[in-house]
Amino acid sequence: MKTYVIYNKKSNNNTGANTAFKIKSIWTQKELIYKELNEFSSYSELFESITPEDEVVICGGDGTLNFLVNEADCEAVTNPIFYYPTGTGNDFWNDLGRTADDPPVQVNQYLVKLPVVHVNGMSKKFINGIGYGIDGYCCEEGDKLRAETNGKQINYTSIAIQGLLFHYKPTHAVITVDGVTREFDKVWLAPTMNGRFYGGGMMATPGQNRLNPERTVTTMVMFGKGKIGTLAAFPTIFKGEHIKKTNIVSTFVGKRVRVAFDRPVALQIDGETVCNVREYEVETASV
């Protein structure tokens, strides 16, 4: 049995390779074979080239995992797949309750029966969640800044504060979960989550369990407050305490979700930005 370590050297501001090679000091008894993502044309090619007993360790961020589940048929893969975080936010790792000192973890069970988002004519599975509202705006602005600064690290908290105070305008939203429709004014956030965390540590849906038997997702809506009131409540998301503010936050659990805004805004899927979105739909896997 061999262990293939697949790393994304571009993760965490191009430091992904250095972090991936730390596995050598953790798994000293294993025969590690390192491969950079661009060394093969597809994950399917990789899995076809190794034996069913060989292990694969995916090193990267949440976006790397998202690429894996959308590019390969993880339902059909029999190889043990491990994950080791080398990204910036590492929300998936955080959701598993892991720390930076932990070894790689086998994740096959987390890569199957995933929800799918349909947006702007495309369909994608997602690992953590769909960000819609000021979280999508932050990703859009972050992409612009990264391009202007040649990939330097971006402070998303600063972008969020600037957006809340000056640039981002809330929307009217129509949210339908399992056939029940509700409307909200002054909506700042409307993510749909498979896990608890997104956006580099925001616990948007503290009650969500990605392995729940029915594979339901949770939609959270933050609404109704003005700029200052929303800014004051925003830090509570990082501990999941925002859901106690039931006058400005609602959550809905279900298997089919549609969120529509009255104007186009940016959306993010596990950190990947999609611009000019009026609505998205999520459907969960049948179990």
Secondary structure of 178-219 in HEC code, one letter for each residue: CCEEEEEEEEEECCEECCCEECCCEECCCCCCCCCCCCCEEE
For 3-110, which CATH superfamily applies?
Probable inorganic polyphosphate/atp-NAD kinase; domain 1 (3.40.50.10330)
Residue 152 is predicted with a pLDDT of 67
Half-sphere exposure of 10 (CA within 13 A, CB side): 8
User: What are the residue ranges spanned by the domains of the chain?
Assistant: 3-110, 116-283
CA distance 287 to 275: 32
pLDDT tens string for the chain (287 positions)? Answer: 899 999 877 776 667 778 888 898 899 888 899 988 878 888 888 898 899 999 999 998 899 999 999 999 999 999 999 999 988 889 999 999 999 889 999 999 999 999 999 999 999 999 999 999 998 988 888 888 877 777 667 677 788 888 787 889 999 999 999 999 999 999 999 999 999 999 888 999 999 999 999 999 999 999 998 888 898 898 999 999 999 999 999 999 999 999 999 999 999 999 899 999 999 999 998 75
Asked whether the domain spanning 116-283 has the same topology as the one spanning 3-110, the reply is: no
CA pseudo-torsion sign 120, 45, 75, 217: negative
- Is the distance from CB of 206 to CB of 249 less than 8 angstroms? no
CA distances from 233 to 25, 173, 251 (A): 42, 20, 16
User: How confident is the model at residue 287, as a pLDDT?
Assistant: 52
- Separation between Cα atoms, residue 216 and residue 207, nearest integer Å: 11
> What distance in Å separates the CA atoms of residue 225 and residue 231, rounded to the nearest whole number?
9
Q: Which of 173, 237, 167 is closest to 199 using CA atoms?
A: 237
Q: What is the token pair recorded at 177?
A: 């979960």
Query: What are the CA-CA distances from residue 219 to residues 31, 51, 103, 253 (Å)?
Result: 43, 40, 32, 6
Task: Give the global pTM.
Answer: 0.92
The CATH class given to the 116-283 domain equals mainly beta
